[in-house]
Amino acid sequence: MILQIPMVKSIDSKRAAEWINLEGNPISSFYGWVVERDIPREFLKNPFHPIGAEAQDVYVKDLNGDGLIDDDDKTILGNPYPDFVWSLSNEFNIGNVDLSFMFQGSHGAEIRNMGDQYIFNHFNSGQDYVDTTPNQGFIRQKIFTNDIIQDASYIALRNVNLGYRFSKRVLKQLKMSNVRVYVSGQNLMYLTASNYTGFNPESVNNTSATTFGYQRAGSPVFRTYSLGLNVEF
């Protein structure tokens, strides 16, 4: 016997989303309709204004073939958990020079990116479809489809630290036991999947175990540089 318990969470009227907890599948699996195709531009009120805007609606697939779009046509669209997480770090010393770094990555996770509503201005009335649009019964909002389920994989160069220690001869002249000058950087490289449209695939706006993986574009990943001096007398 398979127990299927759809869990629907409405963030608010403009940011609704759906998850399902189904035996044999990951908790907080994304749930909804599958996109069939975009609405043709000729059926949008003003498809070229504003620039970069997108319609908030799409045609979805009739998965059970009954000629209707209803809850029976919803399916699991993905889940927010990675298949593989890794890191690589090392430290080198060549003479008085030292170098350390750490790479880190995650692959296979997905995110329900509600930020697309704002990045692509889905709320603009010029992108609404007109009354003469055919097959309107097959149209649903993108936020309930796999359109906003995006690959949350990333590879990051988390930190790099390059230092130089003064020689014993120089330290003796300075009457110091150790002097090291260094330069470091964090998040110097941050690569995300090609279909990800947010700012940070690691960021989530909800932490509930049964409705995990919701994001509104995410907080940006900050890149920082530091220059320092360590002195020991």
140-153 per-position pLDDT tens digit = 999 999 999 999 99
Tell me how far CA of residue 20 lies from CA of 72, 147, 225, in angstroms.
13, 17, 43
CA angle, residues 107, 110, 113, in degrees to nearest 5: 135
pLDDT digits 0-9 by tens, 16-42: 678 999 889 999 999 999 999 999 999
pLDDT at 79 over 60: yes
pLDDT at 7 over 60: no
Asked whether the CA dihedral 56, 57, 61, 62 is positive or negative, the reply is positive
CA angle, residues 197, 201, 202, in degrees to nearest 5: 165
**103 vs 232, residue with greater confidence:** 103
Which residues contact residue 59 at a Cβ distance below 8 angstroms, ignoring those fewer than 6 apart? 35, 36, 37, 38, 39, 135, 138, 139
Task: State the pLDDT at residue 16.
Answer: 62
Query: What is the number of domains present in the chain?
Result: 1
User: Across all residues in the chain, what is the average pLDDT?
Assistant: 89
Distance CA 191, CA 212 (A): 23
- Among 4-8, 105-109, 169-173, name the most confident range: 105-109
pLDDT digits 0-9 by tens, 174-219: 878 888 999 999 999 999 999 999 999 999 887 788 889 989 888 8
pLDDT at 113 over 80: yes
Instruction: List the one residue out of 82, 194, 71 whose CA is nearest residue 144.
Output: 71
Name the residue range of residue 172's domain. Answer: 4-232
Which residues contact residue 132 at a Cβ distance below 8 angstroms, ignoring those fewer than 6 apart? 43
Task: State the pLDDT at residue 33.
Answer: 96
Which residues contact residue 10 at a Cβ distance below 8 angstroms, ignoring those fewer than 6 apart? 16, 17
